[in-house]
């Protein structure tokens, strides 16, 4: 049995009894077998002393139960770790940041409180998954569309609070950016509603996010300043159609004008997430194509060598798929406008028309529909890149740790970040995934991601190597100003140490807030480097 740090067994048992009174004995989990279900399946410390395992779990179903649990936690100084659906895999899953915390499992708080079709918003509790909300909308034939992240079993609340993103228009696929209003149990058990939720009799909680006074919602993301128990989200009105089309450009250096033109349409709000690719690369998250591996025998090629390589392969250097949502007249017109502008900007640009799909996709066609998240349909198909597949079949991983470097939206930065990752892998003696044709991901419209997935295992020796690689990638990227936006508890202190402007002023500010609003340090100690004063020591 694991105990929370600095808590006696007697106090722990007294707290557990109060938790049982608050939520019912069936919903307090204390046996080794039950607590083990809260382990992070993808832990990079699996089975080692540093693995962040819970001491117990408590699963309330209502807000007042959450308040009671939080008050008890203060009384006995028990660290709580709230989770929504607990599916934040690669970023910690359902396991706490600090070993010995009690997981506050909000999965039973699974009420969809409102979906307003005409005003296009939803209000949900943390245990609601994207699958749940999608099914609710479809069963009632409501004419609104969700923006979903790749894994559909996540929670709109949890995903937004960890800065998750999706695929449709820029102002919906930033999931925190498209939220409107929240309800929070404070670390001392009070209840706060933000924005217009603070005004009694207001009907605009999900329509005007600011209310009056300081806007505080951002404080509850990637933090430990409260337990979010409700959140509103703006929804896209169901578009009549979805249209995609693919553009290819012939030369290596064409990536820069390609990005500029895509960004023009993106920033006008005319696109879903653009999808960059290279016919000469190796596919998303795959190893480099064989011809490219041969070219790179002596390291990163020169610009001239890359241009000559492209010419010799007789295939385009880059591609981008553009996605449009709206009435047929406007999506076709936007694609026509894109063709005109790209043809003028990039000599040799070629265009391939994609399908026009009427939305919503009929239920009977959903299973075989590709690219479900682009159409607002939750799925789990993304996991094909990390479960047993033809690339890893000899030694399938048990999980993965994702490193998403945020880099400027320009070709030179994409190449620089890919090269940093390539060099780091080589330095570590690991076959590089990155190469000069690695492409950016555009979840957030104003910034690119260059991503790598490091495998994790239920094997200490293999994980030690993965940790070294992951940490080195984080260090090298930070040296170049490429910041990672989200990471598992194992790396949160290290990540936040990189955001060090003015002697870590940002982290020091976070710590001051923590000390003020959570004096007993009961909510998620250590999350994103924010430790309560009594545990801070030399950390952070």
Q: Which is nearer to another protein, 131 or 325 (CB)?
A: 131
Q: Is 536 left (phi over 0), alpha (psi -120 to 50) or beta?
A: alpha
Q: Which is nearer to another protein, 198 or 385 (CB)?
A: 385
> Shortest gap between Cβ of 453 and another protein (angstroms)?
11
Helix 411-427 to helix 255-267 angle (10° resolution) is: 120
> Shortest gap between Cβ of 400 and another protein (angstroms)?
8
The strand pairing partners of 353, in sequence order, are 245
Q: Which is nearer to another protein, 400 or 514 (CB)?
A: 400
Q: How far apart are CA 420 and CA 431, in angstroms?
A: 14
Q: Which is nearer to another protein, 58 or 346 (CB)?
A: 58
> Shortest gap between Cβ of 46 and another protein (angstroms)?
10
Q: Which is nearer to another protein, 214 or 390 (CB)?
A: 390
Q: Which of 209, 419, 486, 527 is catalytic?
A: 486
Q: What sign does the dihedral 483-486-487-491 (CA atoms) show?
A: positive
Q: How far apart are CA 486 and CA 495, in angstroms?
A: 9
Q: Which is nearer to another protein, 82 or 197 (CB)?
A: 82
- Give me the numbers of helices (H) and strands (E) for the chain, helices first please: 15, 18
> Shortest gap between Cβ of 34 and another protein (angstroms)?
7
Q: How far apart are CA 376 and CA 371, in angstroms?
A: 9
Catalytic annotation present for 485: yes
Would you give the distance in Å from CA 197 to the centre of its chain? 26
Q: What are the tokens at 1?
A: 């049995």
Q: Which positions ≥6 away from 88 have C-beta within 8 Å? A: 94, 154, 158, 159, 162
Q: Which is nearer to another protein, 100 or 399 (CB)?
A: 399
For residue 56, report the phi and psi dihedrals to the nearest 5 degrees. Answer: -170, 175
Q: Which of 167, 406, 422, 485 is catalytic?
A: 485
Q: How far apart are CA 83 and CA 104, in angstroms?
A: 6
Q: Which is nearer to another protein, 386 or 478 (CB)?
A: 386
Q: Which of 301, 265, 260, 266 is nearest to 280 (CA)?
A: 301
> Shortest gap between Cβ of 33 and another protein (angstroms)?
8
Catalytic annotation present for 467: no
Q: Which of 537, 535, 540 is nearest to 7 (CA)?
A: 535
Q: Which of 91, 134, 167, 444 is catalytic?
A: 91
> Shortest gap between Cβ of 242 and another protein (angstroms)?
13
- Residue 357: which H helix or E strand, with range? strand 350-358
> Shortest gap between Cβ of 399 and another protein (angstroms)?
7
Q: Which of 250, 265, 259 is nearest to 441 (CA)?
A: 259
In contact, 425 and 469? CB cutoff 8 Å:
yes
Q: Which is nearer to another protein, 28 or 249 (CB)?
A: 28
> Shortest gap between Cβ of 369 and another protein (angstroms)?
6
Three-class DSSP category at 33: helix
Instruction: Give the angle subtended at the CA of 490 by the CAs of 487 and 494, to the nearest 5°.
Output: 75
Q: How far apart are CA 519 and CA 315, in angstroms?
A: 62
In contact, 346 and 280? CB cutoff 8 Å:
no
The owner of tokens 């591609």 is 319
Q: How far apart are CA 441 and CA 448, in angstroms?
A: 6
For residue 370, report the phi and psi dihedrals to the nearest 5 degrees. Answer: -80, 165
Q: Catalog residues that contact another protein under the rule CB under 8 A.
A: 27, 29, 34, 36-39, 41-42, 59, 85-87, 89, 93-94, 105, 107-108, 127, 131, 152-153, 275, 284, 367-372, 374, 379-390, 393, 396-400
- Cis omega (within 30 of 0) on the bond before 17? no
> Shortest gap between Cβ of 321 and another protein (angstroms)?
8
Query: Catalytic residue positions?
Result: 91, 485-486
């Amino acid at each position: 049995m694991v105990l929370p740090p600095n808590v006696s067994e007697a106090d722990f048992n007294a707290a557990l009894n109060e938790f049982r009174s608050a939520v019912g004995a069936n919903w307090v989990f204390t046996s080794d077998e039950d607590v083990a279900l809260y382990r992070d399946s993808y832990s990079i410390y699996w089975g080692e002393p540093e693995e962040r395992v819970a001491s117990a779990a408590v699963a309330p179903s209502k807000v007042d139960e959450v308040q009671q649990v939080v008050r008890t936690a203060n009384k006995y100084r028990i660290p709580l770790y709230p989770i929504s659906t607990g599916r934040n895999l690669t970023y910690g899953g359902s396991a706490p940041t600090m070993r010995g915390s009690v997981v506050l499992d909000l999965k039973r708080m699974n009420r969809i409180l409102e979906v307003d079709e005409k005003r296009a918003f939803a209000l949900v509790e943390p245990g609601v998954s994207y699958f749940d909300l999608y099914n609710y909308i479809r069963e009632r034939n409501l004419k609104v569309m969700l923006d979903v992240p790749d894994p559909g079993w996540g929670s709109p609340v949890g995903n937004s609070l960890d800065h998750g993103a999706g695929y449709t228009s820029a102002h919906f696929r930033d999931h925190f950016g498209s939220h409107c209003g929240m309800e929070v149990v404070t670390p001392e058990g009070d209840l706060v509603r933000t924005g217009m939720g603070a005004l009694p009799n207001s009907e605009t909680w999900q329509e005007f996010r600011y209310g009056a006074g300081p806007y505080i919602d951002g404080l509850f993301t990637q933090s430990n300043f409260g337990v979010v128990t409700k959140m509103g989200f703006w929804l896209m009105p169901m578009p009549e159609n979805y249209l995609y089309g693919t553009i290819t450009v012939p030369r290596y250096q064409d990536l820069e004008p390609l990005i500029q033109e895509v960004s023009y349409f993106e920033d006008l709000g005319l696109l879903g997430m653009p999808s960059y690719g290279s016919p000469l690369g190796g596919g998303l998250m795959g190893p480099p194509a064989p011809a490219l591996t041969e070219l790179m025998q002596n390291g990163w090629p020169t610009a001239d060598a890359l241009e000559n390589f492209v010419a010799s392969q007789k295939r385009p250097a880059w591609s981008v798929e553009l996605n449009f949502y709206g009435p047929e007249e406007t999506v076709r017109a936007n694609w026509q406008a894109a063709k005109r502008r790209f043809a003028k900007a990039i000599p040799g640009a070629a265009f391939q028309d994609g399908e026009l799909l009427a939305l919503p996709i009929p239920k009977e066609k959903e299973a075989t529909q590709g690219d479900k998240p682009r159409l607002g349909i939750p799925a789990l198909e993304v996991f094909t890149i990390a479960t047993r597949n033809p690339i890893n079949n000899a030694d399938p991983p048990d999980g993965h740790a994702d490193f998403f470097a945020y880099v400027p939206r320009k070709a030179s930065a994409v190449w620089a970040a890919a090269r940093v990752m390539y060099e780091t892998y080589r330095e570590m003696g690991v076959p590089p995934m990155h190469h000069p044709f690695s492409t950016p991901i555009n979840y957030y419209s104003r910034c690119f991601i260059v991503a790598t997935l490091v495998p994790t295992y239920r094997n200490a020796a293999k994980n030690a190597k993965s940790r070294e690689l992951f940490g080195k990638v984080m260090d090298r990227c930070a040296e170049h100003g490429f910041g990672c936006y989200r990471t598992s508890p194992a790396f949160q202190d290290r990540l936040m140490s990189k955001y060090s402007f003015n002697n870590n002023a940002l982290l020091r500010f976070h710590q001051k807030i923590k000390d003020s609003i959570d004096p007993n340090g009961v909510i998620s100690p250590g999350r994103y480097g924010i430790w309560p004063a009594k545990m801070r020591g030399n950390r952070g």
